[in-house]
Each structure stands twice: as structure tokens, then as C-alpha cells.
Structure 1
Amino acid sequence: MSMHKAVGVSVDAMIEDLRTLVEVESPSRDADALTSSAEAVAAVIESRLGGQAELVESAAGPHVHWSAGGEPRVLILGHHDTVFPLGTLERRPFTVRDGHATGPGVFDMLGGLVQAVHGLASLDDLSGVEILVSADEEVGSRTSRALIEERALACGTVLVVEGAAEGGGLKTGRKGCGTFEVSIAGRASHAGLEPAAGVNALIEASHQVLAIAGLGRPETGTTVTPTVASAGTLDNVVPAEATVIVDVRVESADEAERIESAFAALAPRLDGAKITVRGGIGRPPMPESASAELFALAGHLLPGLEGRAVGGGSDGNFTAALGVPTLDGLGAVGGGAHADHEYLVIASMAERARLVAGLVDARRPSPAA
């Protein structure tokens, strides 16, 4: 096992490592692609920090775990899966131009991983530091959640290197989020000869969409948004089946309970229709109290930082819900997450790498008296 030696933060070296990761495409749910991506992430970590990164196999693809050894004290948390399908790189290759790096995943969140690794490489003492990079964050973290929670509790501090909030702010709070699938079973019949003999699942779905949309309470931060719907087979057949998918965001545990109870209580409006509900609020809210101490420390290290509560979820939701101090948005400064115009601001890379390093160094145990 090679030993770590502290080095300075080099933007050129970070860009080359970022290129390496971006050019190994890593769409969620593609286990083969994610295996290649995990190997690339592990190689970058090992080349910069020494030691050996473990590939933790899962049905979603390998998660990457690295530990410097010693009593756990800080967990650097990220993910290497992206939302972009294979072939995106050919259409939108990794490019550095006009102060920006572009390409699939540069902002969400490969840039944050690279910055964190290079920030850690600048420290003399990494004892107690761990890195965990999951393979399924973009699709709910179902195979990684238990490992994330285990390592978070062991380390006691979590730094999430997701992309920064707009303007470079840190993410001090997040809504809880989840997805519900409402399936409706009706009965098919000929739409011209005997429409009344059928039970129209599309009409039932229309009733349910309106009822579901009415569950939102924007004044308390709760949004309930039907996002995908499907129904029917042919233009002359009364639809026998329909499906509605709903995105939900909440700011409190009470609202999460209310929403889940409301979905469980959905009842059909048409005689003969049946409703089945799957899903739930998988990521609990991340309260701003979970980040308060770490955000104050970050503000001391980099005066002028802003903190923002945001609607999107991350794996930091899980760790904060456990009561583990968690600070999010420590990754790349940029924008366009999940979009073709995704970009990373190169001028901020070194500063953000040093911020992560400063936070890790500040969590070093005090010498024994």
C-alpha cells in the first residue's frame, strides 16, 4: 500500500482527472458502465491519496469506498452515476473553453469528486478520513443507503460534494423527496359499440390527477406534481389501464406523513375501477439545523459564503436524518445539472478543493492533554 504525501492543489491536474472520469460514461442502472466508472474513480483516488479503494458490489453497480485508516472522523460523500445515457459523450464531449468545463456529469457531480480528492491530497494528516462514492444516487440510493448510513454514523461528520447552489452557495437544507406510482385498473370495451360496458381508466386517472395535485401546500414547502401519465392501447378501445407518476417534495416529517397517508387513502371515483399505489418519500428532509455548525466553520474558512435550502434531494438527506452533522453543496461551482448546458467554473476549482480540505482539517481531533 503506497503512502500518502501532501501535494499542492493543481487546477491542471484536476482538469485531467475530471476528463478521465467524464470520458467513462456512467448512466444509472447500467451496471457494466458503472463498473468501468467505479474502477476509474478508484484509480483517481488511489493515484492521488495512496492506499486502496474498495469496490463494494451491488445490484446497481459498484460503490467506491476508501479509508485512510485510523479512528473514523469525516466522511466525504458523493456519487459517480449520472443521468445521461450512453452515447451522450460522443454528442457532447468533455471540453474546456472560456473558463468552463463541459460534458456529461461535470457539475453533477464528477467535478466535486475530483475537487475533494485533490483537496485531501493537500493535507498532511488524513487519518480518520473516508470517501464513499455511490453508484445509484440519481435513482434513489436503494442499494447504497445502508452503507451510507453505516459510515456516516461511524464518522460523525459528513461533507457532501454535490454541486454548489446557484452562485456558489452551500446547501444547508434540503426537502425530503419521493415518487409515487398510482396504477388504475378499469375494464376494456369497444369505444363505439358499447362504451358503457367498460370502465374508463383514463377518466379515473383524470379524477385522481386533480385530487393528487390538490395535496400540495406551497405555503409550507410541500409540492405534489404529477409528472408522467400513460393510458390506453387503441383509439377505439376504452382504456383498461392507466398509470400516473407523481413527484413529491416536503420540508418536514409531519408533511411527509400527511402525504403518504393521503396517497394510501386514494379511492376510485368510477364504479368498478381499482387503484394501487406504490412508492413513498424515500429521502427524509434535511433540516438546516444539521448543517449549522459546519456552515459556520465553512464561513470562517471562506468568508462571504451563502447558505441555501433547496428542493432537490441528495444522500445528505439520509445522514442528516440520523442526526449526523452534514454540509452539502461543497462540490463544483457551475450549473445546468441534468441538462445539455451543464458546466463547471474552472476558476472556482482550487478554492473549493481547499474549502473541503479546510473543513476536514478542522475536524481533526485535538491532541491529548
Structure 2
Amino acid sequence: MHMPDDLNIDAMIDDLRTLVEVESPSRDVEALTTSANAVASVIENRLGGRAVLVESEAGPHVHWSGGGDRKVLVLGHHDTVFPLGTLERRPFKVDGGHATGPGVFDMLGGLVQAIHGVATLEDRSGVEILVTADEEVGSRASRALIEERALACGAVLVCEGAADGGGLKTGRKGCGTFEVSVTGRASHAGLEPEAGINALVEASHQVLHIAALGRPDIGTTVTPTVASAGTLDNVVPAEAKVVVDVRVESAAEKERIESAFAALTPHVDGAKVSVEGAIGRPPMPESASAELFALAQRLLPGIEGRAVGGGSDGNFTAALGVPTLDGLGAVGGGAHADHEYLVVDSMAERANLVAGLVKAIQNA
């Protein structure tokens, strides 16, 4: 793929710096409002028109339309996982061919590339861009809007970071979090332990049972990740909690796992068990990306497609039956980690790929 004359890498780096230096941790509505305004400004500067801020309880989403008959939704998010103050410790910089700083790979670099890619198109009709504020925390405040715009447009390009080696993400597992709460009864651990109902012992039974629900052979992982119990070392614990991460590849496994959590029963006499949570992101089957991935392969021969374990907002759009291709964002790595980075030399190619896909969809 050739690089259009008007695709300026220095300008892309400048816009990336602008977005990274406006910290945007999920759930911080004030910070996300500042970030949304910055995203809207970059979009308007590069694409013209007006980027509208869509208010939500999680913070503002940003929506832009090129007008005309809707044909393709470019989807991303501007919230990041890093707390305020990360930038001071890990400032934005470009060195040795890598851009680093909080959010460069997940997914501010992908936003910048997509915006600059669309900007190379003379005809931007039928294109919508939606940048949400709560993807990293489950997209509860944006899911309805994402689904509405995806159905209206009929095709979705997700600008999350690329898979390892720069591959596109052609399938994703469904994912969710469950919280199992155990209620027992406190008593003195030395004087009358038998008078208590040990919530920690009950939670231990539950952890072993829950972990056994996994079926890695068919892509189902069930992983207890966080546990808490007790108050003092001489008190039988009255409460315990276990948090569980779940990933599934099929709707049938989603149903099986959710049913299994709903059916959890106590092992210790007198203990009570309650469950909250669900597999909130449905699986993204590879069939949802097949048509768009074939287009991408024609535009960039040799590019690979991979099914991955992590979820994105593409899970929602694919579940609606809307053709969805993911992983179109930055090439790099270290998502959610201090070593997060973006490969600068790949930015033009990825922007070009988005532009080429948009044009192909417009002309289909």
C-alpha cells in the first residue's frame, strides 16, 4: 500500500501526544470530559464538520458523521486504565522508533491512525466515528449507542490495538466477571469456633468448584482472580468474596457457565452464597469478520488474522450480525502495562488500511 501525500506522520505524532497528555482514566468523568473535548478537537481539525459529545453517566462519548447514506462505523474508545499521575511518571515520548506513554497502544494510537486515514479520503460520506468513554470498564453506558450506530451503518471497523505481529483480530472470546459472596456467622476462633459458620471455608469449596467449570479444550477459561475474607486472626470469618474472570468462545458455553454460577449452592451448613455478574460481552465469532478480513487481505497481502481471548466493543456489534473487523489500531504491545508502546513506522500503513477498507465499503 502506498502512503498518500497528505498522510503526515509528524502530524499523527502531534495528535497522539495531544491525546496521551490528556489523561483519561475510566470512571473519572471530569478527566474523561477533558479527554472527549480533546478527541473531538482532533477529529474536527482533521475531518471538518462537528464532533458531538454524547453525555453519559460514565463520561462523554464522541460521535462524528461524514453525512450521506450510512455505510461504516469506525469504533474506538478514549478511556484508559491508567490512574491520574501516570503521565508524570511515564511521559509521552518517541524514541528508537517507539512511541510510549499511557494509552498509546490501547487505544489512542488507533484513534489517531483511523482519523488520519479517513482524512485522506476525498469522499467521507457514509462514515461515522464513535469514540466511547467506558470500554475498559464494560461499556455499560455506551453499549446501546454502539449497537444503534452499528446497526445503522451495517459494517464496523474496530481500532483496538493489533494482535501480536500486527495481525488483525478476527474473533474474540466472550468475557465477563462474576462476584461470589459468602455469608457465614462470626464467633471467637478460640473459645467457640463451633458456634461460627466459616465463610472462608465455604469460599474455598466454591473456588475449587468454580475453577473446575473451565473447559480450556473448547476455549472456556474460568479463573478465580481476587478473594477476600475475615477481619481478625481470632474471629471465624462471617463474610468472604471471590471474583472470577470468565472467557468463552460460543453462545452455548456462555449459557452453560451463567447457569452454573446461578446454581451454586453452599457446602457448609448454614452458609449462604449469592452471585452477581454475567458474561457481558458475547463471543465475536470469526464468521463475523470473514468478509471484511478478505478485503483487508486484498489491501495488505500477507496480513494475518487471529482469534484472541480479550474482549472489545466489537463483541457487541458482531453479536448483532453486523460485519465487524477488529485489531485495526496500533501495532505495538504492552496493553495495560508500563512498557506499553506503539511502533511509529507502522502508523502510515495502518491508517492506509483503515482508509482502504472504508473506501471499499463505500463502493460496495
Give yes or no for contact 1:66–1:132 (8 Å, CA) kept in 2.
yes
Name the CA distance, whole Å, in 2 between partners of 1:191 and 1:92. 47
Aligned equivalents of 1:142, 1:340: Cα separation in 2:
27
1:36-84 residue CA offsets vs partner (Å, 9 max, x unmatched): 0000000000000001111000010000000111111000000000000
Give TM-score scaled by structure 2 length: 0.98
Corresponding position of 1:40: 38
Q: How far is 1:365 from its partner?
A: 3.8
Indicate the residue corresponding to 1:308 in structure 2.
306
User: Which residue of structure 2 lines up, in the alignment, with residue 223 of structure 1?
Assistant: 221
Alignment-mate amino acid for residue 283 of structure 2: P
Distance 1:72 1:13 in 2: 28
Question: What is the SS of the residue equivalent to 2:24?
Answer: coil
Match of 2:69?
A: 71
Residue matched to 1:162: 160
Deviation at 1:8, TM superposition (A): 1.1
1:12 corresponds in structure 2 to 10
**Partner in structure 1 of residue 278 of structure 2:** 280
Which whole-Å deviations, capped at 9, do the CAs of 1:125-180 have from their partners, x for residues lacking one?
00010000010000000000000000000000000000000000000000000000
- Secondary structure in structure 2 of the residue aligned to 1:229: strand
| Correspondence 1:166-245 to 2 at 5 A | 166-245=164-243
The match for 1:3 is: none
Q: Tell me the equivalent position of 1:151.
A: 149
The 5 A counterparts of 1:27-176 are 27-176=25-174
Find the residue that maps to 1:246 and give its secondary structure.
strand
Cα distance change of structure 1 residues 7 and 135 upon mapping to structure 2, 3 Å threshold: farther
* Cα distance between partner residues in 2 of 1:243 and 1:95: 41
Alpha-carbon separation, structure 2, partners of 1:266 and 1:333: 42
Deviations along 1:223-261, one digit per CA (max 9) or x if unpaired, are 000000001111111100000000000000000000000
- For residues 252-297 of structure 1, what are the alpha-carbon distances to aligned partners after superposition, in whole Å with 9 as ceiling and x for unaligned? 0000000000000000000110001000000000000000010010
**Would you say how many aligned residue pairs link Structure 1 and Structure 2?**
361
CA distance in structure 2 between the partners assigned to 1:364 and 1:215 by the alignment = 45
Shift of 1:7: 6.9
1:311-345 per-residue CA deviation (whole Å, 9 max, x = no partner) reads 00000000000000000000000000000000000
Contact 1:7 1:121 in 2 (8 A): no
Q: How does 1:237-256 map onto structure 2 within 5 Å?
A: 237-256=235-254
Aligned to 1:291: 289
Partner of 1:364, secondary structure, is helix
Q: 1:332 is matched with which residue?
A: 330
Superposition CA RMSD, Å: 0.8
In 2, distance between residues paired with 1:23 and 1:187?
Answer: 50
Gaps of at least 5 residues in structure 2 are none
Which ranges of structure 1 fall in alignment gaps of 5 or more residues? Answer: 1-5
Q: What secondary structure, in the 3-state scheme, does the structure 2 residue paired with 1:78 have?
A: strand
The letter for the 2-side match of 1:170 is L
Identical-residue share of aligned pairs (%):
82
Distance (Å, rounded) in 1 between the aligned partners of 2:193 and 2:62: 56
Distance in 2 (CA, whole Å) between partners of 1:23 and 1:238 is: 49
Contact 1:228 1:244 in 2 (8 A): yes
Look up the match of 1:269.
267
Q: In structure 1, what residue type is equivalent to 2:321?
A: G
| Runs of 4+, deviation exceeding 3 Å | none
2:137 and 2:309 map into 1 onto residues whose CA distance is: 16
Q: Is the 8 A contact 1:173 1:287 kept in 2?
A: yes
